[in-house]
Amino acid sequence: MSDPSDVMAPMQGARSEGVVTVEALPAQGQITLRCDLSDDFRWKLGETLGFAVPEPLGATSDGDRALLWMSPDELLLLCPYDAVPTLMAQLGQVFDGWFIAIADVSDARAQFRITGGHLRDVLAKLTPVDMAPQAFVPGMVRRSRLAQVAAGYWMRDADTMQIFVFRSVAEYAFGVLTLAAGAGGEVGFHVR
């Protein structure tokens, strides 16, 4: 793994101001865990990380680390980029002999943060996910589409969404988010 100071995140420094703010996030450590999310696994992973494993469609966090539920057999661990080698080794030891795939996917994805009271309206233009406040609540994680590409959504709080896309489509994702957030394109349906 590269020295974190040498790592260039896709769209590094990209930022757009419209009815919401769209900004590319710096490189972040990302570890995918694919396995049967049994009670034994959940307990052991929680003990190893020091915080609970999320329920379906949820996320848990502790300081600079977070664990996101991505599917019935997949979790995504977010951590500082330079912590990945240590965490990979630790998880490999803890789950030695288990039927599990543990993969460093830190360089596979780009991430964006969308902030502002119009974020639900902006995203409703681009995804089939129900953005109603009672349907997509803070702390929730979903996988879906962002216009023509696959995306993951994590609602950090009522006015902040973190979006994950494959690195190869980062420029496209930033472009459609910026276009949907453009001034004059307010919908006013889910405005806070």
Last residue of a domain, one of 78, 104, 130: 104
The pLDDT-based confidence of 187 (bands split at 50, 70, 90) is confident
Instruction: Confirm if 27 and 11 have CB atoms less than 8 A apart.
Output: no
- Same domain (yes/no): 38, 87: yes
Q: Containing domain of residue 87, as a range?
A: 29-104
User: What is the per-residue pLDDT for 192?
Assistant: 57
CA–CA distance, 32 with 9 (Å, rounded to integer): 18
Count of domains for the chain:
2
The reply to whether 6 falls in a domain is: no
26-40: average pLDDT: 94
Q: Do 100 and 45 share a structural domain?
A: yes
Work out the pLDDT band at 185, boundaries 50, 70, 90: confident
Interatomic CA distance for residues 91 and 77, integer angstroms: 11
The percent of residues in the chain predicted with pLDDT above 90, rounded, is 88
Q: What is the pLDDT of residue 183?
A: 87
Digit-coded pLDDT (tens) for 42-80: 999 999 999 999 999 999 999 999 999 999 999 999 999
**51 φ/ψ angles, rounded to the nearest 5 degrees:** -150, 160
87 pLDDT above the threshold of 80: yes
Positions of E strands within the chain: 15-17, 21-24, 29-34, 59-62, 65-71, 74-79, 101-104, 109-115, 141-146, 149-157, 160-166
pLDDT interval class at 11 (50, 70, 90): confident
Mean pLDDT for the chain overall: 93
Shared domain check, 117 and 175? yes
Asked if the structure places residue 1 within a domain, the reply is no
Any domain includes 131: yes
- Provide the sign of the torsion angle of the four alpha carbons 12, 105, 77, 175, taken in this order: positive
Q: List, for residues 92-139, the tens digit of each pLDDT value.
A: 999 999 999 999 999 999 999 999 999 999 999 999 999 999 999 999
In a domain, 132, yes or no: yes
**Is there a single domain that holds both residue 41 and residue 19?**
no
